[in-house]
Amino acid sequence: MLSPQIIDLLIKGLLDTLHMVAVSGAIGTLIGLPIGVLLAVTGRGELLQNFAFNKAMGAVVNMTRSTPFIILVVAIIPFTRLIAGTSIGTNAAIVPLTVAAAPFIARVVENAVREVDRGLVEAAQAMGATPFQIIRKVLLPEALPGIVAGLTLSAVSLVGYSAMVGAVGGGGLGDLGIRYGYQRFLPDVMLAVVIVLIVLVQIVQSTGDLIARRVNKRNLKS
């Protein structure tokens, strides 16, 4: 069986992972959500059509998304140091995680908002709604089930990404698995890390699905 020290490390690793995923997910959502909405409403034929903004913002989002995460972590070390004051440790790891999460969330939010029936926007315009009112009262509530599903997907991805930030001393379960399970060749530690990660992802996914179902009023039985 696992020694008490290893169990302590597992608990600490889990808490670190949760900490990194929660903080980067939250900040990523704060940044990604408005960007996603803006991307959706500035597209061709949309509410606030604006090609220049849409293209520029789309390019920035794609740039971050096309960089492999492990390279992104190393590449933005100066930026990480500027924000976190250090480039090592769990708090430092939150910076690259957030930088990766925000554009990912922006895209899933954009997709969810685009899914909203164009007729609803037209109906709101016919009622004399301002663009801001349409976003707040129509697009966001109607896209909510899709947004929740997208955020769940993002959270699961972040759990995966968080395993890589061990490269900059980020801590967490992934780091534990690499250092103890792989480098010290402790297969039982590796197995324990994998099981905890599987359970964690399952819980995140199930919770996300549950919330998405709750907020989805589209398929109610009469």
Residue ranges binding other proteins (CB under 8 A): 117, 119-120, 122-130, 133, 137-138, 141-142, 144, 215, 217-222
The count of other CB atoms within 10 Å of the CB of residue 154 is 26
Query: In one letter, which amino acid is 205?
Result: Q
Query: In one letter, which amino acid is 14?
Result: L
Query: In one letter, which amino acid is 57?
Result: M
Instruction: Let me know: does 115 contact 146? Beta carbons within 8 Å.
Output: yes
**Residue 117 Cα distances to 11, 60, 144, angstroms:** 45, 27, 13
Secondary structure (DSSP) of 39-97: HHHTSTTSTT--HHHHHHHHHHHHHHHHS-HHHHHHHTHHHHHHHHS-SSSHHHHHHHH
Q: 50 — alpha (psi -120 to 50), left (phi > 0) or beta?
A: beta
**Residue 99 Cα distances to 50, 51, 182, angstroms:** 25, 24, 28
Q: Output the smallest distance, CB 127 to other proteins, in A.
A: 4
